[in-house]
Structure 1
Amino acid sequence: MKVFTVCGITQSGKTTTIENIIRELKKRRYSVGSVKEIHFEAFAIDEKGSNTDRHRRAGSELVTARGYYETDVLFPTRISIEEILRFYHQDYVVLEGVTDSNVPKIITAHTIEEIEERLDGRVFAISGRIVNEIQEYKGIPVISTIDEVTKLVDLIEEKVYEKLPEFPKECCGACGYDCIELGIKILKGEAKREDCIISQEAIELLIDDKTIPMVPFVQNILYNAVTAVVKELEGYKKGHKITVKIGEK
């Protein structure tokens, strides 16, 4: 799954940019998901006093409202982007206004000052209202999704990589960088997604068919523990694939 974010202040063109990107990605036959960050403390889809609100206030840890044409799963807390993305399986997921995830970034802006406020090594394109003023900024292309959406989506196909983990360097760093640094290197063409040691793992852990990323230290513990037990069993052959499935007792 490839994930990127579009960031900018209100009325800078974020949603229009995302709409046009999604349409073009769909034209190219990709499956697409999206996540919208709401920067409003009082925001709540669930109305106070509604039946689902009463469920939540009574202590339900997860509430689902199912209608004829829509199903809404309501968590009674803010959850991380990593947790949210576990519900997605699309080719691309577009984040709107999300700034706390290690993913490539498109900035939308009115002014140079707005670009500078959000500029970092993960920015690979600029769009929004600023397209009427400049064509590039510090080597980063400024592209209109109204007139040049195909050009921007070509760049998305070129630059956006499979989602990296979010481990700090002290937990992993096996590739020589932390996850943010590796992402920046990939965007600059100085590294490849395959340089992430996690993607080269000899052991994979899935919970409910969702892959759980593990740093090399944890991989080694699990790998050694499983192989130490299995190699004592009849039928074990060194180098052969081992599959272990665990369900509820």
Structure 2
Amino acid sequence: MSLAIESRSPRLAVLIDADNTSAKIADGLFEEIAKIGEASVRRIYGDFSSTRMKSWADILAKHAIIPQQQFAYTSGKNASDITLVIDAMDLLHSGRFDGFCLVSSDSDFTRLASRIREHGIDVFGFGEQKTPESFRQACRRFIYTENLLQAASGGQPRPDAAKKPLVEPKEAIPILRKAVEQVVEQLESGDGWVLLGSVGKSLANLAPDFDSRTYGFRKLIDLVRDIGTFDVDHAEGKAPRIKLKSATESKRRSGGRR
């Protein structure tokens, strides 16, 4: 009798810098990580004897996060960062993990992210929009924690999420255009039509922090439709395709909005 072998989700090590991360994102954080793989290790670093860490201390049990206590013996010295880096390297060399989730807005972890990726292991960064570009670019993918803020009940996105995007949708046009042009060149698409899925992969390589939610949309296709720079072909039962509008079409559309 043969037994079916169930494929295992990627095993992830989640390391959280409590000094640079708000506890408010915890629910959204682990929901997002669950889309990537299994959070096998969940550790958080900070001085939990401090009153400002109470918000984290109150939710550690809910998400089975193991606190790594680091007392602040000396002002200006961050023992938590050093401990996180040491643990990350130990976990990396154990060879048991398919990816790391580094949760911080601190650029000090840029070299750590680069070092892990040099071993062929994926790094997923989570931090605020203010996170320096060096850290964002060092990750395979970087998710803004502002996009993870969720309502207390039901895990639904904040009602004002669509009304107040972090960045105006039109700001996505240059990177979307570059991604489409890159795919067209790679596939030598004579008519300019490319699969939206291929554009998404190109975006991930061009800008690790690209996320349609940053522009107020859950899905990439909705963002593309809204900005009006691309033609969209989404026939029923088929994968969506997009194409850059001609200069004449774009000019006509912008003129109609005035």
Same fold (TM over 0.5): no
Query: TM-score, normalised on structure 2?
Result: 0.26
Higher helix share: 2
Query: TM-score, normalised on structure 1?
Result: 0.27
